[in-house]
């Protein structure tokens, strides 16, 4: 049985649009169908060639922020946080769609352990709805700067139904607490695109917060709708930021 609305903490959901208004509209329609009663939605337009202000008219429940320029992943989300008033904050990619009850397990996971700073849901590929993209992450190698995604490409047959601590959240859907935000501050904007959530997780871990995977919450990811799935832009930032991450967060041969 769901808790009464007045007892549920407020969740501020931030999503960033960059030249993908139609995709963002699909997410907002998905969010209209969700059941969590204490939610504010903040839509950030991150310097799109055709700003998505029309969505603010179609979805009047949404708080609209126009940055006027492309601030990157962290910068766009940080801009949305200026309007956020929740007890918890969820950064959700605009190229996702969600299960109607996806927020309840995330909030409940935080309530079970005060040391939890971040939680990510189980994530599927949108075009293959029962194929897993994410059921947790392994540690990042201090040599290669890469880590592995647990369950990637597997059919979901219930093999990843246990919530557990993981090394870092998934950037497509990551919830974090106000306590974490107030202690470590905004996400670093030096990366512009990719590796930001890994950096933020490393900072959070050093500050004493744990990071969890919550399988009862489900999200479907269309993946790389803004940058392209195999684009030169994506390849450049992955390569550049892997080296930047290693410089910022590795010591000797110790994994992060």
- pLDDT for 171-185, tens place per residue? 999 999 999 999 999
Contact 207, 184 (CB under 8 A): yes
Q: What is the pTM of this model?
A: 0.86
Secondary structure (3-state) at 32:
helix
Q: Compute the distance between CA of residue 211 and CA of residue 37 in angstroms, rounded to an integer.
A: 25
**pLDDT value at position 227?**
47
- The pLDDT, as a whole number, for residue 102 is 98
Q: Token pair of 240, please?
A: 């550049």
Q: Both tokens of residue 76? A: 């766009």
195, pLDDT greater than 90: no
Q: Which tens digits make up the pLDDT trace of 4-42? A: 455 899 999 999 999 999 999 999 999 999 999 999 999
Question: Residue 18 CA to chain centroid, in angstroms?
Answer: 16
| Long-range contact pairs involving 1-10 (C-beta distance under 8 Å, separation at least 24) | 2/35, 2/104, 5/37, 5/38, 8/36, 8/37, 8/38, 8/107, 9/38, 9/86, 9/87, 9/88, 9/107, 10/38, 10/39, 10/40, 10/85, 10/86, 10/87, 10/88
Average pLDDT over residues 159-168: 96
97: left (phi over 0), alpha (psi -120 to 50) or beta: beta
User: Averaged over 45-73, what is the pLDDT?
Assistant: 94
Instruction: State whether residue 171 is helix, strand or coil.
Output: coil
Residue 71's pLDDT is: 95
Average pLDDT, the chain: 88
Domains along the chain with CATH numbers: 11-249 (3.90.550.10)
- The number of beta carbons lying within 10 Å of the beta carbon of residue 220 is 22
Tokens of 28: 């907002």
* 198 token code pair: 């890994």
E strand or H helix at 17:
strand 11-17
Number of H helices, E strands in the chain: 7, 10
pLDDT top residue among 250 and 127: 127
- CB atoms near residue 138 (< 10 Å): 14
Q: pLDDT tens digit string along 76-89?
A: 999 999 999 999 99
């Amino acid at each position: 049985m769901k808790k009464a609305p007045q007892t549920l903490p407020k969740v501020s959901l931030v999503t960033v649009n960059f030249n993908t208004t139609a995709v963002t509209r699909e997410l907002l329609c998905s969010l209209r169908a969700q059941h969590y009663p204490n939610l504010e939605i903040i839509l950030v337009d991150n310097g799109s060639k055709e700003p998505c202000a029309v969505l603010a008219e179609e979805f009047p429940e949404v708080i609209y922020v126009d940055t006027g320029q492309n601030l990157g992943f962290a910068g766009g989300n940080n801009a949305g946080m200026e309007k956020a008033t929740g007890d918890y904050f969820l950064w959700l990619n605009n190229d996702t769609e969600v299960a109607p009850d996806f927020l309840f397990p995330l909030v409940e996971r935080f309530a079970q352990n005060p040391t939890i700073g971040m939680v990510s849901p189980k994530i599927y590929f949108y075009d293959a709805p029962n194929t897993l993209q994410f059921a947790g992450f392994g540690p990042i190698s201090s040599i290669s700067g890469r880590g592995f995604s647990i369950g990637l490409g597997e059919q979901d047959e219930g093999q990843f139904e246990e919530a557990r601590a993981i090394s870092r959240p998934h950037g497509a859907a990551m919830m974090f607490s106000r306590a974490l935000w107030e202690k470590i501050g905004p996400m670093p904007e030096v990366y512009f695109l990719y590796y930001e959530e890994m950096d933020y997780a490393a900072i959070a871990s050093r500050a004493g917060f744990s990071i969890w995977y919550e399988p009862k919450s489900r999200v479907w990811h269309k993946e790389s709708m803004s940058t392209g799935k195999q684009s030169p832009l994506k390849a450049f930032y992955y390569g550049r930021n892997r080296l930047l991450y290693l410089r910022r967060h590795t010591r000797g041969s110790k994994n992060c």
